[in-house]
Structure 1
Amino acid sequence: MQDVRPLPHYLIQRYHGWRATTYAENAAWYRRLAGEGQHPRAMVIACCDSRVDVAQIFGADSGELFIHRNVANLVPPYDPDGDYHGTSAAVEYAVTALKVAHLVVLGHSNCGGVKGCHDMCEGHAPELEASTSFVGRWMDILRPGYKRVKEAGPADPLRALENEAVLTSLENLMTFPFVRDAVAEGVLSLHGCWNDIGHGGLEHYDRKEGTFVPV
């Protein structure tokens, strides 16, 4: 692999800092995690956005959360067609093997993926329309949500589409037979959240109100 280079120096420095402090102070816990395996209580599907740190938001320690991140925190519909399905595989493992009790979809403000979907659907991002665009084809998952937002005509369509990204993912989760069965049996609960990056806010979807409300 001649194209692979050593880690940047700043990452190496930060690793040594973590190893000498956080790890050293909790070495027994890490060894226990390594020996006993992971038993997370919840799975969180979040965006790849570097500004959204799931562990910090929920104050989680190592081993507490099973975290999967992708562009715009999307879950595709159940479609076992034999192709590569990173998100679907993560959901399957979390629900059927790890037996998580909670599955959280976490959206956020100023989401670039959601904006890309909006621009694409509005005809302002031809590069995402190309069949060779991985981002564009991934954001096709959110097209139904875009249509709902367009019909509703909200004052802030991007914020509304960020919420729709969460709701679309929750809807798609229920198309997975093992998710649907676990929810019906009462051993798994689904949750939708939205994080305001700039103000540190967190909202969750209230099904009775039919909207996102502050936690």
Structure 2
Amino acid sequence: MLIGCSDSRVDPGLLFGTQPGEMFVIRNVANLVPPFETAGTYHGTSAAIEFAVRKLMVEHVVVLGHSGCGGVRALVEDDPADGTDFVRPWMGIARAARDRCMALALSAGETADSARRMCEMETVAISLANLMTFPWVRERVGQKQLTLHGWWFDMENGTLWGLDSQSNTFCPLAS
């Protein structure tokens, strides 16, 4: 299963050379996974994760972020007057990533572009952590029946980066 951004510039089938039906794909703004919760009404992403993990018994879940993500840009710019009813609250899932990346960038004297790029990667890590809040994901990972992967695609350079869970850093996987 791949959880990717709804951005049409990053088509998972083209990126990985798969045929229709070879990969269960969930696409939403900024490839976010909400934390597990059963209150509320609509849970499209959570329902798709549940179906893939519990019914299809997928063995791998990849969260795929990308450079130039518009959802992350909206999160970093955090404009309350942006006029969105759904994007801003949805991106709130990654507010902790935004706060951490902005603080790191400011303390290092880096640019807003650098903070945004860090945040694009950090949203992948947030989504992986949120996946582990689903009891049946955590159980299957613990039983070594499911493996979670965090990837980030640099569209400008055509490089795919993977999150190393030991060092919590992204390393190039392929160009």
Q: Same fold (TM over 0.5)?
A: yes
Which of the pair is proportionally richer in helix? 1
**8 A contact 1:193–1:204 mirrored in 2:** yes
- Structure 1 position 135 matched with structure 2 position 87: yes
Q: Counterpart in 1 of 2:97?
A: 145
- Structure 1 position 208 matched with structure 2 position 166: yes
1:83 shift after superposition: 1.0
**Matches of residues 24-173 of structure 1 in structure 2 within 5 Å?**
43-120=1-78, 125-128=79-82, 133-153=85-105, 155=110, 156-173=114-131
Other structure's SS at 2:87 match: helix
Q: Counterpart in 2 of 1:17?
A: none
Identity of aligned residues (%): 49
Q: Counterpart in 2 of 1:8?
A: none
Structure 2: which amino acid aligns with 1:126?
P
1:84 shift after superposition: 0.1
Question: Any gaps of 5 or more consecutive residues in structure 1?
Answer: 1-42
| Count of residue pairs the alignment pairs up | 167
Q: Counterpart in 2 of 1:25?
A: none
Aligned-partner Cα distance in 1 for 2:145–2:81: 43
Aligned-partner Cα distance in 2 for 1:66–1:166: 18
- Structure 1 position 199 matched with structure 2 position 157: yes
Other structure's SS at 1:191 match: strand
**8 A contact 1:44–1:105 mirrored in 2:** yes
Structure 2: which amino acid aligns with 1:78?
F
More RCO (CA 8 Å, sep 6+):
2
Q: Counterpart in 2 of 1:38?
A: none
TM-score by length of 2: 0.91
Aligned-partner Cα distance in 1 for 2:172–2:125: 16
1:209 shift after superposition: 2.6
Q: Counterpart in 2 of 1:23?
A: none
1:201 shift after superposition: 1.0
**8 A contact 1:127–1:133 mirrored in 2:** no
Q: Counterpart in 1 of 2:141?
A: 183
**8 A contact 1:182–1:188 mirrored in 2:** yes
1:85 shift after superposition: 0.5
Q: Which moved more, 1:50-59 or 1:99-108?
A: 50-59
C-alpha RMSD of the superposition: 1.3
Post-superposition Cα deviations, 1:26-74, rounded to whole Å, max 9, x if no partner, equal xxxxxxxxxxxxxxxxx00000101001011111122210000000000
Post-superposition, which runs of at least 4 consecutive aligned residues in structure 1 deviate over 6 A? Answer: none
Aligned-partner Cα distance in 1 for 2:117–2:40: 34
